[in-house]
Amino acid sequence: MKQSILFFTPYFQERIWGGQKLKEVFHYDTPYEKTAECWAISGHQNGESIINNGALKGKSLRTLWEDERSYFGNITGDSFPLLIKILDAHDDLSVQVHPGDEYANRKENGERGKTECWYIIDCDEGAELVIGHNATSKADFNKYIENGEWDKVLRRVPIAPGDFFYIPSGSVHAICKGVLILETQQSSDVTYRLYDYDRTDDSGQKRELHLERALDVINYPHEDVVMPKRLENREGLTETRLVSNEFFTVCEWVVTGKCMENQNHSFLLASVLRGKGTITVAGEQYDLEKGQHFMLPSHVTDFSLDGDCQLIISHM
């Protein structure tokens, strides 16, 4: 009998810009002083999340994809397509850009491109993001770089908790310090750094930049992509659709009581950002609390939620 709900233990990544909020806010047992990334639901070879309940306990999502494809409906491909992260930006991330599928496949050994989106869980007062640039062409952008005019070429956006941003491949971007973000993305680990503030790691080394490839894939000129939100109130639940495109659909669910839900997707991914509740699947009830991440496979067509909690939901 197939397992009806899969809870995951995340994989953690250390970066020079990380901090301790993943431990402080979500009570994760983080392994590093500068724990930057929680790969919450991941089948990527660079950081695999592990199933921690039921008969599949101890199996990685990547292995499940390879061995039990029926859990994922009619989705095809060599690897699980989505990656859910929580990022703790204790310091500024590098200014970067990600390629699209065609470029990544050609230049990065068959890797996917990376379109992503960000939900702002929390941030310091006055926090901001870098999204976009002011250059008109590749040559124009290169002039800004040669002159060191990063403040002139980069666009900065003020943010607040609850904000949402869609970052298509080719978009210049950076998460700045004091920000806690849930990121939904294509399952890819290809990043081209444009600028890293000339900082060094603990051994005194600067991180590698990838200017040639970054300039190849940047969208010129930059155009902001605003996805219209769609709000739907159902009994016990308010759903806000944040984005829907060829790569993923992402929604915010605010549960305020008991609700009955149906799903007809190849899989449904969920991250609990606040509060507590329960989910009942195939007659079994499971507790939900802040910091949990789970998947409902394709064979789960209905379930119920109860409680007072907020979730970010994603599917193909």
Active site residue 62: no
- H-state helical runs in 121-223: 138-146, 150-153, 211-217
Catalytic residue among 62, 193, 199, 241: 193
Give residue for tokens 């290169």: 142
Distances in Å between the Cα of 220 and the Cα atoms of 132, 134, 142, 183 are 10, 9, 12, 24
Beta bridge partners of 196: none
**Which H/E stretch holds residue 50?**
strand 50-51
Give the gyration radius of the chain's Cα atoms: 20
CA–CA distances in Å: residue 194 to residues 96, 139, 154, 217, 218 = 5, 15, 11, 11, 10
For residues 34 and 17, the answer to whether their CB atoms sit within 8 Å is yes
Question: Phi and psi at residue 64, in whole multiples of 5°?
Answer: -60, -40
Question: How many residues comprise the chain?
Answer: 316
Short-list 276, 242, 227, 89, CA closest to 162: 242
CB 82 within 8 A of CB 316: yes
Dihedral sign (CA 122, 123, 125, 129) = negative
DSSP secondary structure code for residue 54 in this structure: G
Other CB atoms closer than 10 Å to residue 146's CB: what's the count? 8
Positions marked active-site: 193
